[in-house]
A and B are shown apart, each in its own frame.
Chain A
Amino acid sequence: MRLAKDSSTLSVCSPPPQGAPQGGREQTEFAATPSPEAANDTSWSFRTAFTDRIGGAAEYIIIPALALAAALIAFGIFVALFGKNPLDLYFYMYQGAFGTAFSWQNTLTRAAPLILTALCTALPAQLGLVIIGGEGALLMGALAATSTALALAGAPPTVVQIAMVLAGMIAGGIWIALSGGLQHYRGVNETISSLLLVYIALAVLNQLVEGPMRDPASLNKPSTHEIGAANMIGAIPGTDVHWGLAFGVIAAALTYILIFHTTFGFAARIAGGNVRAAKVVGLGVGRLILVTCFLAGAAAGLAGMVEVAAVQGRTNANLAAGYGFTGILVAFLARHNPLAVIPVAILLGGINASGGLLQRRLGLPDASVLVLQGMIFIAVLASETLYGRFRIFRQGS
């Protein structure tokens, strides 16, 4: 059950974009799998450790871009099988995502929670943990934020909003810290436990929304009472995009600083590369895991708070819109780099936003966005195998 952090199994997780720290991971990989392939790869693997920074960075942008293009082509072929013109598809996708001011606003509104839920996967990935329960933390965060706002009814809006942010982050943080703690102290696989916690969170939400917290006036769609218009966080001045986007960008930037410019982040990356080495040098791996997972969950919990305070105004089943699951894809596509998460979230937010237009203009089902996301995810993972295969990226070394 224990996820090996020092073997080949997690080569897909947390490859640091800087290239340099990757050497340690690759070397341990050979010790674990002395296959002929790995032996042949020795030459380039040792070279990636010292490779030219610019060449390495280009590789981390061009290969995911190729994967994305491959997935888009595959999706074009897929819709062509249903008698739709792929060129129309691409046109409407662009229109729906980035074509007009309205679609940009729609895209950015969707990107906000995606940045935050992606951090929920990207942060633990630095430690070699695969957490896929961002949806659960989002729901718990939304529930906690709503409860706080309802409990503080009548207080000044600023107080209510700050309390909502804190409550959402703490609730989400605890939810994911639970997965991390179980992994470290009980050896429970964190991927499975975090996904199980999504379903448990959904059950808790349904139970409360249809039971004790239900607003009797919500007949068709059981919901809690509204948090009140005064407590909603509005739009960023000069735009129609709510403040959630700023929260997301700030959270991503802070995460980047935490991981790449603090001793905490350095320790986390060491533990992610080789847990035994981390223990030898005296790092508290348990504390690293708990804190990192708490912060990860806090990001997703904040996404839940944002969805309540900026979009829905209350908690109901609408919140389980799949932002947590799309966030996993964003994190993997961004190769778990917190800064790369921002543009990737905007891209995926755009794909989500174009779903409506595809439905209206091409008559495609709403699930077509899910199919495309699945194709992108598969293509991105398959492209992992291409790293280090192209000589062109390391001519500088």
Chain B
Amino acid sequence: MADASIGWWVVPVAVMGGALRVSTPFLFVSLGECITERSGRINLGLEGNLVMGAMCAYGTSYLTGSPWLGVLAAGFAGALLGLVHASICGLPKVNDIAVGIALMLFGTGLAFFLGKPLIEPSAPILPAIDFGWWSSIPQVHAALKINVLFLIGVALAPLLVWALATTRWGLILRTAGESADAARAMGYSVDAIRMRATMLGGFLAGIGGSFLSLYYPGSWNEGLSSGQGITAVALVIFARWNPMLCFFASLLFGGAAALGPALQSVGVSQGYYLFNAAPYILTLLIMIITCSPKRTLVGAPAELSITK
């Protein structure tokens, strides 16, 4: 299957193209989780938001014919799950990690339940912008077909850095994440801040899901996301709660996830499943290298339960 003109170069080109393409869900989920965690709460359930978002996006796009309405629906579904998470975590003595696990199971279950009739039909999918028009090599052409959602995500990362650092909203959010007492002393309701942050995080994770069903792979089935949501949560820790670093980490993970299909396209089918596990292995390795039992991680919000 290898193209004679560029030979094995197909692999790095495909990995790079894959990084641009596959990274989008990682990017949205990690940005969403970043917002939630900066407010001092962890939502492990974003895998549920991702799958639920994918299903809602596909269903809405199929029924209305507009993929962009689908994206919006996915966001709202994600925000709703975020609302559930935040409302339960707001009760005294409830553990946010456990609620995340519950919502991960609930979100995927609900998506499979409601999405049963959506496996067969095909819905209109999102358009892509062709940045590869200058090249005559089809692989480069394919690699540079970039979806608008990815561009939105790319713009969102620096916007979030700016908003967290300089705006009033960002300051209040960070205060809740660093010291709940300080936020209370200033007269803010910590629960209300975290609820908004969790809903916003859920909204973004839902949009990440819409990318899965409406662009790549571009259909709805029950095996659509296997663990991309949880990988993205781990990625936030690796990125030290910095949205820009989340962006670069997402590219890295997207590239890792594209390795299996890229190698398969040049005829290397040995170890296909192991290469598909590359993002998980990479996540684990990165966590082993960058975590330490001795010190608190730099940049970790002080109120966060997993780093306290």
A interface list, Cβ under 8 A from B: 1-4, 7-13, 32-35, 37-38, 41, 130, 132, 182, 184-189, 191-193, 195-200, 202-204, 206-207, 210-211, 325, 328-329, 332, 365, 367-371, 373-375, 377-378, 380-382, 384-385, 387
Contact check, B273 vs A206: say whether CB atoms are below 8 A apart: yes
- Minimum C-beta distance from A49 to chain B (A): 15
Contact check, A3 vs B102: say whether CB atoms are below 8 A apart: no
Contact check, A371 vs B106: say whether CB atoms are below 8 A apart: yes
How far is A281 from B25 in the complex, measured between Cα atoms in Å?
Answer: 47
**Contacts A182-B288, A193-B287 hold; do A41 and B102 have CB atoms under 8 A apart?**
no
22 A-B pairs within 8 Å (CB atoms) are namely: A4-B305, A7-B308, A9-B308, A11-B95, A34-B181, A182-B284, A186-B291, A188-B288, A189-B287, A189-B291, A192-B44, A192-B287, A196-B230, A196-B280, A202-B277, A207-B273, A325-B105, A365-B112, A367-B109, A377-B101, A377-B105, A381-B102
Cβ-defined partner of A381 (8 Å) among B98, B109, B234, B283: B98
Contact check, A382 vs B230: say whether CB atoms are below 8 A apart: no
Contact check, B92 vs A41: say whether CB atoms are below 8 A apart: yes
**Contacts A196-B231, A200-B281, A365-B113 hold; do A378 and B274 have CB atoms under 8 A apart?**
no
Cβ-defined partner of A373 (8 Å) among B88, B105, B180: B105
- Minimum C-beta distance from B250 to chain A (A): 17
CB interface residues, B 30-64, toward A, < 8 Å = 44
CB interface residues, B 9-46, toward A, < 8 Å = 44
- Minimum C-beta distance from B283 to chain A (A): 6
Chain B residues with a Cβ closer than 8 Å to the other chain, count: 57
- Minimum C-beta distance from A190 to chain B (A): 10
Contact check, A195 vs B227: say whether CB atoms are below 8 A apart: yes
B94 within 8 A of A: yes
Question: Which residues of the other chain, B, contact A191 by a CB distance below 8 angstroms?
Answer: 44, 97, 101, 306
Question: Which residues of the other chain, A, contact B143 by a CB distance below 8 angstroms?
Answer: none
Contact check, A374 vs B308: say whether CB atoms are below 8 A apart: no
| Interface 1/0 per residue, B272-290 and A, CB below 8 Å | 1110110011011001100
Question: In the complex, what residue of chain A is closest to B306 when comparing beta carbons?
Answer: A189
Contact check, A378 vs B113: say whether CB atoms are below 8 A apart: no
Given contacts A198-B227, A381-B98, 20 further A-B contacts (CB under 8 A): A4-B305, A12-B93, A132-B101, A188-B287, A189-B234, A189-B287, A191-B101, A192-B237, A192-B283, A196-B280, A200-B280, A202-B277, A203-B274, A332-B98, A365-B112, A374-B103, A375-B106, A377-B105, A380-B102, A381-B95
How far is A234 from B292 in the complex, measured between Cα atoms in Å?
Answer: 48
Contact check, A11 vs B99: say whether CB atoms are below 8 A apart: no
How far is A2 from B294 in the complex, measured between Cα atoms in Å?
Answer: 9
User: Would you list the 5 A-B pairs with minimal beta carbon distance, nearest first?
Assistant: A374-B106, A370-B109, A203-B277, A12-B95, A367-B112
**Contacts A2-B307, A4-B305 hold; do A368 and B277 have CB atoms under 8 A apart?**
no
Contact check, A186 vs B99: say whether CB atoms are below 8 A apart: no
Contact check, A12 vs B94: say whether CB atoms are below 8 A apart: yes
Contact check, B93 vs A384: say whether CB atoms are below 8 A apart: yes
Contact check, A188 vs B105: say whether CB atoms are below 8 A apart: no
Question: Which residues of the other chain, B, contact A188 by a CB distance below 8 angstroms?
Answer: 284, 287-288, 291
- Minimum C-beta distance from A89 to chain B (A): 14
Cβ-defined partner of B284 (8 Å) among A33, A38, A185, A197: A197
Contact check, B271 vs A207: say whether CB atoms are below 8 A apart: yes
Contact check, B116 vs A203: say whether CB atoms are below 8 A apart: no
Contact check, A13 vs B95: say whether CB atoms are below 8 A apart: yes
Question: Which residues of the other chain, B, contact A197 by a CB distance below 8 angstroms?
Answer: 284
Contact check, A187 vs B305: say whether CB atoms are below 8 A apart: no
Question: In the complex, what residue of chain A is closest to B111 when comparing beta carbons?
Answer: A367
How far is A33 from B190 in the complex, measured between Cα atoms in Å?
Answer: 13
Question: In the complex, what residue of chain A is closest to B288 when comparing beta carbons?
Answer: A186
CB interface residues, B 244-270, toward A, < 8 Å = 270
